[in-house]
C-alpha cells in the first residue's frame, strides 16, 4: 500500500468520524422547533479534532514506512488523484445545487448551512473513497 493510499485512508476515517460527531452534536442541540444554529465554537472544535486526527494518522503512516512517506508522487498516483478529484467534484457540485434547491423550498438558513457543509464533507469523502478504489482496482 503506497503512502498516498494510506493518506487517503487516514483522511477518510478522520472525516467520517469527525463529521459524525459534528452532526450528532447538531442533532442533540436541535429542538422540535428546528435546527440549532451553526455555532462557531462547535466548528472550531470540529476543525481542531479533524486536524489532530489527520496529523496523528499521517505521522503513524509515515513511521511505518518512512521511505514511502518521503518518496515523490509517481505518475500513476497523480492520475489517480486527478481522476478522483474530478469525479468527486461532480458529486459535490450536484449536492451543492441540491442544497440550494432545498433552500428555495424551505427558506431555512440553518438547513442551507448544514446541507452545504455536508455537501463539502461528502464530496471530500467521495474523493478519498475513489482514490482508495483506484489504488486498489484501477489500472490507469
Between CA 18 and CA 56 the distance in angstroms is 14
Q: What is the mean pLDDT of the chain?
A: 94
67 confidence band (pLDDT: 50, 70, 90): confident
pLDDT over 60 at 140, yes or no: no
pLDDT tens figures, 20-32: 999 999 999 998 8
Q: By percentage, how much of the chain surpasses pLDDT 90?
A: 84
Cell readout for 84 is 478522483
Q: What is the 3-state secondary structure (H, E, C) of the chain?
A: CCHHHHHHHHHHHHHHHHHHHHHHHHHHHCECCECCCCCHHHHHHHHHHHHHHHHHHHHHHHHHCHHHHHCCCCHHHHHHHHHHHHHHHHHHHHHHHHHHHHHHHHCCHHHHHHHHHHHHHHHHHHHHHHHHHHHHHCCC
Domain count, the chain: 1
Maximum C-alpha span of the chain: 55
Q: Is 37 left (phi over 0), alpha (psi -120 to 50) or beta?
A: beta
139 confidence band (pLDDT: 50, 70, 90): low
Quote the domain boundaries for residue 90.
3-137
Kindly report the pTM of this predicted structure: 0.90
Cell readout for 27 is 442533532
pLDDT of residue 7: 95
pLDDT of residue 33: 82
pLDDT of residue 22: 96
pLDDT tens figures, 84-125: 999 999 999 999 999 999 999 999 999 999 999 999 999 999
Q: By percentage, how much of the chain surpasses pLDDT 70?
A: 99
Amino acid at each position: 500500500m503506497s503512502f498516498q493510499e494510506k493518506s487517503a485512508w487516514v483522511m477518510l476515517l478522520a472525516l467520517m468520524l469527525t463529521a459524525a460527531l459534528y452532526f450528532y452534536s447538531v442533532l442533540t442541540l436541535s429542538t422540535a422547533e428546528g435546527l440549532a444554529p451553526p455555532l462557531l465554537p462547535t466548528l472550531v472544535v470540529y476543525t481542531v479534532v479533524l486536524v489532530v486526527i489527520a496529523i496523528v494518522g499521517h505521522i503513524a503512516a509515515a513511521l511505518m514506512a518512512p521511505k514511502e512517506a518521503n518518496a515523490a508522487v509517481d505518475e500513476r498516483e497523480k492520475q489517480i488523484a486527478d481522476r478522483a478529484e474530478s469525479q468527486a467534484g461532480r458529486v459535490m457540485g450536484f449536492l451543492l445545487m441540491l442544497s440550494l434547491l432545498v433552500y428555495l423550498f424551505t427558506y431555512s438558513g440553518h438547513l442551507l448551512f448544514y446541507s452545504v457543509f455536508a455537501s463539502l464533507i461528502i464530496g471530500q469523502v467521495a474523493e478519498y473513497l475513489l482514490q482508495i478504489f483506484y489504488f486498489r482496482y484501477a489500472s490507469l
